[in-house]
Amino acid sequence: MTVIARQRQSNRCASWVEQDGVLALFQTLGTPPNSAIREYLNDNKVPQLFVATGANKWNDPKHYPWTIGWQPSYQVEARIYAHYILKNIPDAKIAVLYQNDDFGKDYLIGLRAGLGDKADKLIVATETYETTDATTDSQIVSLHGSGANVLLNIAIPKFAVQAFRKVYDLGWKPTHILSNVSSSVGVVMRPVGAEKSTGIISATYLKDPTDPQWQDTPE
């Protein structure tokens, strides 16, 4: 999100709060939009409750006491993937596709921290995408060309689906690790097809209501 876009988002938020008399915002979605309005909300003491992103920036009560995060940390999740790779893939060559904002960068920070002094050796390629991009095809082609045997896919659903399809079309068969942001069965896995999504490794902190394994649970 550009500086101009952030300012516009902040101005819209101010309009809602001041014209409609908003008491609080609850679980607003997305790291860039919430970043754009956080300063205004805190300056005006409007609670920004349970922000629906896992960026580490929401855990800053000293500077932003009116903002409270909710999702598990992206950096912690990435550390879990790093530990999995170190334990299970001794010859790992890691390629990373990530969104070029705080969302994607938090995962990369966590991955590097989890890999420790092996990070520079194991991470052989990284590619970013913007949410305004049409596809991630060129990025996946580039990552494939790196010789990586592990792909960490840090993408929102639209671009995660595109990545699945391109990986499949290339005949590339890395250990494919996916951010929990795009792990929905109904939104991502089912639309892309079983042949393209089988074997994906991810983490989750909720019972996915679109996952058939939970259809008979009381919740």
Ramachandran area for residue 119 (φ above 0: left; ψ -120 to 50: alpha; else beta) = alpha
Residue 156 CB partners (closer than 8 Å, separation 6+):
99, 103, 131, 181, 182
Q: Enumerate the domain spans of the chain.
A: 3-69, 74-202
> What is the per-residue pLDDT across 29-43, written as a single tens digit (0 to 9) for each?
888 889 989 999 999
> What is the per-residue pLDDT across 33-90, written as a single tens digit (0 to 9) for each?
899 899 999 999 999 999 999 988 898 999 999 999 998 999 999 999 999 999 999 9
Contact predicate 191/160, CB 8 Å: no
Q: Which of 170, 113, 120, 111 is nearest to 145 (CA)?
A: 170
Only one residue has tokens 């334990």, namely 87
Q: What pLDDT, on a 0 to 100 scale, did the predictor assign at position 19?
A: 84
- pTM equals 0.84
Query: What's the token pair of residue 118?
Result: 């092996």
Contact predicate 178/160, CB 8 Å: yes
Q: Would you list the DSSP string of 48-87?
A: EEEEBS--GGG--TTT-TTEEE-SPPHHHHHHHHHHHHHH
Contact predicate 174/95, CB 8 Å: yes
Contact predicate 208/184, CB 8 Å: yes
* Element of type H or E holding 97: strand 94-99
Asked: is 74-202 a CATH 3.30.499.10 domain? The reply is no
Contact predicate 143/97, CB 8 Å: yes
Longest dimension (CA), the chain: 58
Mean pLDDT (10-residue bins), the chain, 219 residues:
65 80 90 89 94 90 95 94 97 97 94 98 98 96 98 96 96 96 89 87 87 87
* Element of type H or E holding 26: strand 25-26
Contact predicate 122/93, CB 8 Å: yes
